[in-house]
Amino acid sequence: MSELVALGKAGAAIRKANAEGRAALVGYLPAGFPSYDDGVDAIKALVDGGCDVLEIGLPYSDPVMDGVTIQRAAAAALAGGVRTRDVLSTVEKVAAYSDVPVLVMTYWNPVERYGVDRFAADFAGAGGAGLITPDLIPDEGAEWIAAADKNDLDKVFLVSPSSTDERIAMTTAACRGFVYATAVMGVTGARDKPSDLAAPLVARVKAATGIPVGVGLGISNADQAAGVAAFADAAIVGAALVKALEDGGPAGVRALAESLSEGVRREPRSAVDR
């Protein structure tokens, strides 16, 4: 796979930010929370706040890798009646709002139940850029990889501090868009400080691939975003934005996104950093 193809839509947006001398900001919110319409408005607020890539969560009944904040939001969205078709229509509305790439983060079961080929086609038709699949590994993802390639979609797989070099090489070879480096072991959620394991993991991933590396799990404020931006191509923020939505609605989301956007711009990056 050529590096240009591997970049995909999300990777191109990240590299555009990197060319400006900064890391990209990837913002996550679940669809349908606190309601369908408010969820759409909140995701649009991520755009207005300066996010370079959007990550929309598909609410799932058994989110084993998510922390309590995202679990609570997903449960509320499901209780409100949000289903996969509502996630796709959210993607369509957000994609029509701006040219910021829209990814969906989803556990694999909802895609499988919807139909892999059908989901890929409907998602691409809605303007989606690709999927982040936290519980699907490349060696078990042949059906998704084929459907994604057929529909020109990004495939973002995860690596963690426990990944072997062999696993990192295999995973990054299957990625398109960027590689998602989980900076801590365990479930997601904002933390007082990012993991010390993040920078060494990014260095290992960069030794295996030329496509961007994003770091998620634990970033909650501008200072932490600035710290991650010093060594990663993208800073990924989720739980803190969900909490901002709970506390302050879409306006709260925009305010935090603006602060995080300032954080990733704080330390200029040279070409040798990338």
Residue 155 CA to residue 145 CA, distance in Å, equals: 7
3-state secondary structure of 125: helix
- Which of the following is catalytic: 41, 52, 66, 86? 66
Cis before 101 (ω within 30)? no
Sign of CA dihedral 9, 78, 46, 96: positive
For residue 176, give the H/E element and its range.
none
Write out the two tokens for 266. Answer: 């704080």
Is 196 catalytic? The answer is no
Contact status, residue 88 vs residue 123, Cβ threshold 8 Å = yes
Is 55 catalytic? The answer is yes
Contact status, residue 269 vs residue 21, Cβ threshold 8 Å = yes
Q: Name the E strands within 106-253.
A: 130-132, 154-156, 158-159, 179-182, 213-216, 234-237
CA distances for 161 relative to 175, 189, 273, angstroms = 18, 17, 21
- Which of the following is catalytic: 52, 55, 92, 154? 55
Within a 13 Å sphere around the CA of 165, how many CA atoms are in the beta-carbon half?
6
Cis before 34 (ω within 30)? yes
Identify any residues that bridge with 162 across adjacent strands, giving them in sequence order. Answer: none
Active site residues: 55, 66
